[in-house]
Amino acid sequence: MSRFALVVSVCLLLSVSLNIYLLWPAPASKATDSSPDKPNNRVTTDRATKPPVLTAQQSALAYQAHQAESDAPATNIDTVRQWLDQGEFARVERFLIDALRANPESAQLLLLEADYILATEPLSVAVSHLFALQELSLFNREQREELASRSAGLIKNTISALYNAGDWDMLAQFLEPLFQLNSSDQILTLKLAEAYARQQKFTLMEDVLANLSANNAGARSLRQRFVPGQAPSLERNEEKPADAQQTPITRLALTRYGDQYIAETQILNRPAALLLDTGASSTAISFELYKALRRFNQIQVIGLFDVRTAGGPIRSSLVQIDNMTLGPYKLSNIGVFVMPEAAMQQADGLLGMNVLKQFHFQLDQTNAELLLTPRQ
């Protein structure tokens, strides 16, 4: 072998040996086990096997998503109506906001909203809303007729209840916004004009009657009854029983409460102590009494009204009581307001003028008696 071939063979041998050395895997050393990279590798392994730690914002979003899943049955209209019947108004409101935002032209949702408004807003607002729904094209003819029938029924029942109660201020409050929406309705016009006339607000009466023809019989009758002189119902609230009527006077014993008096009555055959209040146009009962009466009786709820009281304005339900007893006298279909819970501590309610005006009455403070004679 020549010297050149020997040198080449040695170089090739060294090259192969060097490659084998470089490519051969090195054994794990103790130094590697204790290297600073080990904790980082463990954290990486933990992330792969454990759930991630959420931030506060992520946790809140996850909770809201869970709540949305748990409330999934709330999308059922029947379930929401149960909430409405149970008085869970805040829950119904939240549902309606979200549902109507997603589907603003759903007839079913709009009808549910109308029921919600009827349960939470003054009756005039609720009826006005029913008027507005009748103008929407998304309702078919049958639905519009049903809405019209419902609003007409509410108006008729409310007018009847307030008219029988003689609560002219509340009647005007109810009719004013409806008249603004439908001033061509003769019944609304005449009833609102009469409500003003009975309060001796003749300028307002004439403003309303101006919407009718000059020879309208109803308008002419109102002017004849009220404008020339006082109507019988506008006489003094407290009258002495007339001897000429030859009607026996009933003396009803009262209980003194400070400088006020309490009369013992019966409402739906249940004893009720009512505070005599000639300054109140309507009779009112406590929430506690109403709750007790409702357990054994079907009580018609007319609707909500904003009522002015000595303690400020309140929103109160007007209900119709089928029968009430004052002394020997039995009264029927009396409209009374339900006072807020715990508003009355000393009595079961107020005896107002809608009951007292059905009598000639006089308060005998010396003997703590209420003198009553029925009006003929």
DSSP SS3 for 237: coil
Confidence of residue 224 (pLDDT cuts 50, 70, 90): very high
Q: What are the structure tokens assigned to 233, written together?
A: 């119902």
- Please determine, for residue 248, whether its predicted confidence score (pLDDT) is greater than 70: yes
With b for 16 or more beta-carbon neighbours within 10 A and e for fewer, the 294-326 pattern comes to eeeeeeeebbbbebeeeeeeeebbbbbbeebbb
What residues contact 165, with CB distance under 8 A and at least 6 apart?
282, 283, 334, 335, 354
Q: What is the pLDDT of residue 35?
A: 41
Q: For residues 329 and 320, what is the distance between their CA atoms, to the nearest angstrom?
A: 18
Q: Between residues 166 and 2, which one has the greater pLDDT?
A: 166
Sequence-ordered list of residues with C-beta below 8 angstroms from that of 274, at least 6 positions apart, any chain: 262, 263, 265, 283, 285, 347, 348, 349, 350, 351
pLDDT tens digits along 79-121: 999 999 988 999 999 999 999 999 999 999 999 999 999 999 9
Which two tokens mark 165?
């109660």
Return the closest-CA partner of residue 82 out of 121, 120, 115, 105.
Answer: 115
> Residue 42's pLDDT is what?
38
The stretch 153-164 carries a mean pLDDT of 88
pLDDT of 74 over the 60 cut: no
Top-level class of domain 243-374: mainly beta
pLDDT over 90 (residue 369):
yes
Q: How far is CA 214 from the centre of its chain?
A: 41
Tell me what pLDDT residue 161 has.
Answer: 83
Name the residue with higher pLDDT: 202 or 74. Answer: 202
Answer whether residue 66 shows pLDDT above 50: no
- Counting Cβ atoms within 10 Å, is residue 182 exposed (0-12), middle (13-18) or buried (19+)? middle
Mean pLDDT across 293-310: 85
Model pLDDT for residues 12-28, shown as the tens digit of each residue: 565 656 555 555 555 54
Residue 46: per-residue pLDDT = 41
136 or 230, which is more confident?
Answer: 136
Q: Are 342 and 332 in contact (CB under 8 A)?
A: no
- Region 129-154: mean pLDDT is 93
Buried b (16+ CB within 10 A) or exposed e, 98-130: ebeeeeeeeeebbbbbbebbbbbbbbbebbbbb
Q: What's the pLDDT at 174?
A: 94
pLDDT recorded at residue 188: 94
> Can you give the pLDDT at residue 375?
81
Q: Lowest mean pLDDT: which of 60-64, 96-100, 134-138?
A: 60-64
